Amino acid sequence: MPRAKFMISAFFAAAVAVQVAVVCGGGVLTLERAFPLNQRVELEALRARDRARHARVLQNLVGGVVDFSVVGTSDPNAVGLYYTKVKLGSPPREFNVQIDTGSDILWVTCNSCSDCPQSSGIGIELNFFDALSSSTASLVSCSDQLCASVVQTAAAQCSTQNNQCSYSVKYGDGSGTSGYYVTDVLSFDTVMGPSLVANSSAPVVFGCSTYQSGDLTKIDKAIDGIFGFGQHDLSVISQLSSHGVTPRVFSHCLKGDGSGGGILVLGEILDSSIVYSPLVPSQPHYNLYLQSIAVNGQLLPIDPAVFATSTNRGTIVDSGTTLTYLVEEAFDPFVSAVTAVVSQSATPFISKGDQCYGVPTSISEIFPPVALNFVGGASMVLRPVDYLVHYGFVDGAPTWCIGFQRAQDPGVSILGDLVLKDKIIVYDIARQRLGWADYDCSTSVNVSITFGKDEFVNAGQLSVSRSSKIALFKLIPLSITLLIHLSLFIRFL
């Protein structure tokens, strides 16, 4: 079968003979022009035709990258969360959903939810999902195989009255939601290669929320739903990976200062400074092996056993948490060590139970660096702004308080947006590792994609298999700009 190049000369494609009879196994196939000989065809029309064909070809290949815009900040005095937009249904409607790596399911508010917030204090218009208005929506019944599998995880129940597969989720802050599962189309742009973006869609299962409680009911930070990025089969990243739409890796870069924002990629962000540490296996969350904490280069006197991971203990990376929580056995030594370093330059005081400081100058000049040390020699080095929160002024002096909190659940430390911001974070589910690197999240990032399986590029180009070949291009926050780093002529069989 002829090979088609990534960059096809549409002019030569249109210049073939009017009819060609191909004899194959006794049969005759007649090929005809796509465009009549006497009809002038603009070059752009030919390019558009080629792009459409390439998109169809590429839909059968694993490894596209899906790029989502990011809005919001880690500042608890402002929004205190990061969110993105998802398009659901036919015709597609947009929903603003919080980016949450600490839970599994995607859910949005149903139009049948009577007690859910009707307005939001973060400057967005709330939308409500209506299954009846989408031509592609269908309810998940109790007899559905998917329902049977998730019921076993306690993330779903079955209502025998209406035969609907329902869900109920409780979050760490005490809030919760319940509703029923829906299957509908998720629409997105898939970046398949340099200068090639395909309009894509895939069916996904998500929750339609009919009840909310706790902080989810508060108008000041109300949002359309939560986008769970956990490792469970029901998470969108798992569903899209199983459809062959994206690889089993996603990344984010959350901008900490100014108006916030950043980048969220269903794919892998690349940077030479990224360090990796293995994920703890068989855990429902993204757990890391935290080994020690250093303040100003000095290890704190903490028994490593307090960081041990079990079914109800460990260190979790969670973008749905604003602050960071340390187990009590680590929290107290941490606060004491920071206070000891700055006591000669700042004025320590307690405010509402938090350790705060009156700071006469820049915090970067006074406060020490902090290192969280993980298995594999990977350290996450924190700047003062990564563990302090600005809380106004006292007697004219800026007030900064420790943003780390004492863990609410014994034995469970949670790394939230306070420390995740201004870093590339790569959740490599396929390789069971998590990576990070300090980064200016207002700038573009390099992203890799993987084409196909067990195929090879011709000699003289790239002598690596397609399953491991990396095509580099850049994603810029809030919009995609493709800057080709490798001049590739990628051939398809």
271-438 CATH, one of 2.170.120.12, 3.40.980.10, 2.60.120.200, 2.40.70.10: 2.40.70.10
CA 242 distance to own-chain centroid:
17
Q: What is the CATH number of domain 65-246?
A: 2.40.70.10
CA atoms within 13 A on the CB side of 112: 11
Q: Residue 462: its pLDDT value, please?
A: 20
Identity of residue 402: I
Token digits of residue 67: 């790029």
Catalytic residue among 50, 67, 75, 100: 100
The residue ranges of DSSP E strands in 127-267, in sequence order, are 138-139, 156-159, 164-170, 176-193, 196-213, 225-228, 249-254, 262-266
8 A C-beta contact, residue 187 and residue 201: yes
**Beta-bridge mates of residue 436:** 275, 425
Mean pLDDT for the chain overall: 81
Range with lowest mean pLDDT among 283-287, 404-408, 454-458 = 454-458
Catalytic residue among 104, 318, 417, 428: 318
CA 361 distance to own-chain centroid:
36
423 pLDDT exceeds 50? yes
Q: Residue 43: its pLDDT value, please?
A: 55
pLDDT band at 394 (very low <50, low <70, confident <90, very high): confident
CA 182 distance to own-chain centroid:
21
- When computed from its CA atoms, the radius of gyration of the chain, rounded to whole angstroms, is 26
Q: Residue 484: its pLDDT value, please?
A: 27
Output 248 or 198, whichever has higher pLDDT. 248
Residue 55 host element (H or E): helix 43-58
17 pLDDT exceeds 50? no
Q: Are strands 324-326 and 404-406 parallel, antiparallel or unpaired?
A: parallel
100 assigned to active site: yes
Q: Residue 331: its pLDDT value, please?
A: 98
476 pLDDT exceeds 70? no
- Round to whole Å and give the CA distance between 25 and 434: 54
395 assigned to active site: no
Range with lowest mean pLDDT among 118-132, 213-227, 347-361, 439-453 = 439-453
Q: Does residue 237 come out as left (phi exceeding 0), alpha (psi in the -120 to 50 range) or beta?
A: alpha
Same fold, 65-246 and 271-438: yes
71 pLDDT exceeds 80? yes
Question: What are the extents of the domains in the chain?
Answer: 65-246, 271-438
How many beta carbons lie within 10 A of that of residue 351, not counting itself? 12
Q: Residue 5: its pLDDT value, please?
A: 32
310 pLDDT exceeds 90? no
- What sign has the CA pseudo-torsion 464, 471, 442, 95? negative
15 pLDDT exceeds 50? no
pLDDT in tens, 137-185: 999 988 888 787 665 454 556 766 778 898 899 988 889 999 999 999 9
